[in-house]
Structure formats: structure tokens, C-alpha cells
Structure 1
Amino acid sequence: MQSTAAEDYVKAIYHHTEWQPEPVTPSQLATRLGLANSTVTEMVKKLAAAGLVHHRPYGAIELTSEGAALAVRQVRRHRVVETWLVERHGYDWDEVHDEAEILEHALSDRLLDSIARSLGDPVRDPHGDPIPAADGTVVRPDAVLLADAAVGHAGAVVRISDSDPAMLRFLADAGIALDASLEVLGQKPYSGSIQVRTDAGTVDLGPQVAQAVWLSA
């Protein structure tokens, strides 16, 4: 089963567990894909029949080894394309996701590998997500979510979720990008914000941002 839909589904399942351990539920998958629960349920049944996922009724969805291999292949394609668009075509990091969603299905393996070589075989995309190697190897940085970082924790930004383009623009304006140095100065429990020090000064970051930024551990 190698349809575009199957590739998108296994990639979404992979994304859910890439930076946290809890498996995805059908309703969470439906939300991530922007589809009705019934549509997702039917597709998950097809994926299970094709040997790409494990799923029991009302339970979580997990990739099989075959499903994981397909997901890693698609993740590599998507992230190489995002990197290519930023580095060679002048796209900003908040503009590449939708373009990559289209192009990742259209490029041949030969062209994809040629693009990767021309970029120096990058190991991360513009948002810090690891780019799997051609053999499927994935090297993920040791990182801590900003929301979980203790007061006084200082580190470099190693990953920023690309799920919200507006947030990426906000962070860029605040001088928070990959490899930027951050120090957690304090938490404001009643407002839910976290105050951090950057190279440009201090800034208060809300809960949504704190759940989207990872620092070196």
C-alpha cells in the first residue's frame, strides 16, 4: 500500500511520537490531519490490513516496522525539500511546509538524493527536526521542552515546531531561531508565561510557544 494517503497517514503517526512517547489515538490523528474521525477510522483499517500499523478498536495506533520504514522515507523527503526551499530558493522557514507536502510525493528517489547531496547531506531541516539518512538512520538531539525546563536552564534552541507559521514569524521577530541561546529566568504561574533571556534581551513566552521550543539538555 504506497498511496499518497497512506504516506501522509504514516508520516503523521510518526510525527506524533517523534518528540514524545505517547502513541496517537484515532481522534488525535483526525485532528492532526484535519479529517473526520470516521474517515480516519476507515483508513486506519486499510493501513492495518496492509501491515503498516497495529490498531485495536478504541485503542492507540502504532506503526509496524514496515510502516515506520515508509514513514521515515517520507519524513526524509519532506525535510530535504524544506531545507532545499530555504537554502536555494529564498523561502522563509514559515513558508515551506505546504510546498514540501506537495513536492515530497512528486520527486523521484534519484532526484531527492541528488538534492540532498547538493545541500551537503543536511542532518536537520530549517526547524531543527532531524533529517533521516538515506539508509533510514535518524539521529535526534538530546533536548528538553521549554515548558519542562527548570528555572536557570540555559541551552541552545535545537528544535521549533513548524505547526503554526504565525508563531514561527513571532519567534523570528523575537530573535529566537535555531542555535539561539536561551536561559529560563522564571515562570509566571498565573499568566502561564515563561520569561527567558535571549541575546537580544528578555522576553515572555506564552504556553503555546513553551510547548513548541526545545533546548539542548
Structure 2
Amino acid sequence: MPSAAIDDYLKTIYHHTEWQTAPITPSQLAAELGLAPSSITEMVQKLAAQGLVTHRPYGPVSLTADGEARAAAIIRRHRLIETWLVREFGYAWDEVHDEAEVLEHTISDRLLAGIDERLGHPRFDPHGDAIPDAAGVVDREAFVLLGQAHVGHTGRVLRVSDRDPALLRALDAAGVVVGRSLTAAGRDAVRLDGDPVALPAGAAEAIWLTA
């Protein structure tokens, strides 16, 4: 199996449980990767044979210790590259995902180490996702999804999903960025510095705050 294909599967499984606890199902994995369920079943069986995932028929898929270590390594590459592109080349946070998807499979370990050192060993990428260290360890604060926060909850924006570039641009224009404090004011609204701000559709399911 191509290494990049394995990495994409492992990365998707890893990412699914970063901000919630339910393990990913084969149907969710198929939707995330845009593949047919039959293809997912075949690949999951191969990954299980290599000791990278655990899986039972029709049940969820989970990473083994080896699978999690490999997933953390490729996610570290991806997020360091995203941070590098933003800080060193002036990319916006909505522009870096696709570039990093390509570069994560091509740069050398030496270059990655140099990027990490030059950036001062960052702990988080431009979207607030934790960058695993060289040992695969991440440092993440307690969090709550904005859509599940009670009205009046005030927290710092920990993370914004990078799934939708248009949403990232809209949130940036509204001033809702990683590190900014805001107060939940209803399903599609927040308060920034006391002022009400209407959020674009989907924002409540894409923003995580400190708990």
C-alpha cells in the first residue's frame, strides 16, 4: 500500500477523536475520505493486519499504539508546515491546508526539524490544533464546542475547524480568530468586547472555546 494512503487513513482516524470522544465508524471514515464503503473495509482490514488499527465487523475503528504514533508523526508534519506557511510566507489560515497535504509527504525529516527550530517549536498551528511533539505528545486545554456552550459562557477561542475555507475567511473578517475571547450569545451569535456579532452558518459547530 502506498505510504501516503496509509497516512491519510491514520490521520483521519486520529483527527476524528481530537475534539470529541466517540470513535470513528467505517461509514464516517468513508465520508471523510470520499471513498466507497467497500474500499474502506478492505483498507481497514489491511491496516489491522499491520497492527495499526483495531476493528470488528460493522464496529468503529480505533488506532493501536503504533497507529497513533504514526498518525501523530504525520499530523506533526502537516501542522508544522501550515504554521511555517503562515509565518514565513504570508499565507492566510484558509490557504494552507491543501499545500500542507502535498508537502507533508515530501519534505525530509531534516527539513522538518529545521522548520520546527526556526519557528521556535510551536505548540499549535494557525487553526489552534495542537502540534504533537517529536514523541507524539500533545498539550491541549479543556474545551467546549461553541454550539454546546451555554449562553453567557465566556472563553478564549482554542480552535477553528479548517474544513471550510470560506467559513475561515468569514470568521476572520468578523474578528473570530484563535486566541480571541468571546461570549456565547445564542446559536448563531457571540459577543466580542461586549458587542453582538452574528456568525455565519456552521460556525457554532466549527469553533472550540476554553471550558
What TM-score range do you get, normalising by the shorter chain?
Answer: over 0.9
1:205 aligns with 2:199: yes
**Structure 2 counterpart of 1:158:** 158
Q: CA separation in 2, counterparts of 1:136 and 1:56?
A: 26
Q: Which runs of 5+ in 1 are unaligned?
A: 188-192
- The reply to whether residue 88 of structure 1 matches residue 88 of structure 2 is yes
**1:216 match:** 210
Q: Report the secondary structure of 1:196's partner residue.
A: strand
**Distance in 2 between residues matched to 1:34 and 1:173, nearest whole Å:** 30
Q: Which runs of 5+ in 2 are unaligned?
A: none
Secondary structure of 1:105's match? coil
Please identify runs of 4+ aligned residues in structure 1 that moved more than 6 A: none
Number of matched pairs: 211
Under a length normalisation based on structure 2, what TM-score does the superposition of the two structures give? 0.96
RMSD: 1.4
Aligned pairs (5 A) from 1:122-161: 122-161=122-161
- TM-score (normalizing by structure 1): 0.93
TM-superposed CA distance for 1:207, in Å, is 5.8
- Quote the Cα distance in structure 2 between the aligned partners of 1:201 and 1:141: 26
Distance, in Å, in 1 between the alignment partners of 2:73 and 2:8 is: 11
Q: Distance in 1 between matches of 2:97 and 2:200?
A: 23
CA contact (8 A) 2:128 2:160 kept: yes
With 1-10 and 14-23 compared, the bigger mean Cα shift is at 1-10
Q: Is the 8 A contact 1:161 1:213 kept in 2?
A: yes
Contact map agreement 2:188 2:203 (CA 8 A) in 1: no
Q: Distance in 2 between matches of 1:75 and 1:63?
A: 14
